[in-house]
Homo-oligomer: A and B are copies of this chain.
């Protein structure tokens, strides 16, 4: 029983998603060539993914005939094998908590977290893209924590105020009805479920998906990319944020009101509401609770 590679795990998940999308029933035969074409890879990793699913009892090989679906696969088959993002968050947190020095070498990071050099370089490069760290002149890296978090917060909100409301008014704007519905359900569920500290991350991600989804709907790739970037930045400074439930309620209500107007294609009002929503969020988060 081979350990599946990163790509194979990924493909396994995507195959499960395809099976769901296609509405296949137990007993259906999967086709290696077809899957390979749809997934834009060769047959080899597809076979690896299928072998992995076989180990899990999702499919069964029928020699020379195909691969039969023998169980309805659960939605999130495997945790989407952990990304570098985990490390980004962890390192950013360690730095904020003071357990990492402000200046650091690649080797130190390698030893400290037990990573190989290539991974460390990728991670530090990504942190550099986010302006959380910079290369020192000779060698080593320097955290820019001091300069962030102070003025940055306001600049970020002003930046978003310029883009997000305008996104809804872009000529190419188009939002799928299904997206609106799914998003509304997620908000309702968040409101219905009992609140606990650990919901913070899920709440943050719902929030990020809401704003990113609207930006994506603008069909302007630069607006979309800019908002995605903002979300990444906020992810670092706010994962530790402890939201009070009152704040969650207000936030969801505002989001849902915007969704209502968008469902009726009333983009102008939605844009205004979104502007106010961001302005309010800016004030609340600026009021000092943020532990950043």
Q: Which residues of A are in contact with B by a Cβ distance under 8 Å? A: 7, 10-11, 39-42, 45, 125, 129, 131, 136-138, 152, 155-156, 158-159, 162-163, 166, 170, 219-223, 225-226, 230
Q: Which of A39, A42, A159, A230 has the most CB of B within 10 A?
A: A159
Chain A contact residues: helix, strand, loop or mixed: helix
| Cβ-closest chain B residue relative to A147 | B221
Is the beta-carbon distance between B41 and A137 smaller than 8 angstroms? yes
**27 A-B pairs, CB-CB below 8 angstroms?**
A7-B137, A10-B137, A39-B137, A40-B136, A41-B136, A41-B137, A42-B138, A45-B137, A45-B138, A125-B125, A131-B221, A131-B225, A152-B221, A155-B219, A155-B220, A155-B222, A155-B223, A156-B222, A158-B170, A159-B220, A159-B223, A159-B226, A162-B163, A162-B166, A162-B223, A163-B163, A222-B230
Name the B residues within 8 Å of A222 (CB-CB). 155-156, 159, 226, 230
Question: How many angstroms between the C-alpha atoms of A211 and B10 in the bound complex?
Answer: 42
| Cβ-closest chain B residue relative to A158 | B220
Question: How many angstroms between the C-alpha atoms of A128 and B17 in the bound complex?
Answer: 26
| Cβ-closest chain B residue relative to A166 | B162
Is the beta-carbon distance between B220 and A40 smaller than 8 angstroms? no
Question: How many angstroms between the C-alpha atoms of A137 and B156 in the bound complex?
Answer: 33
Name the B residues within 8 Å of A10 (CB-CB). 137
CB distance from A210 to the nearest CB of B (A): 20
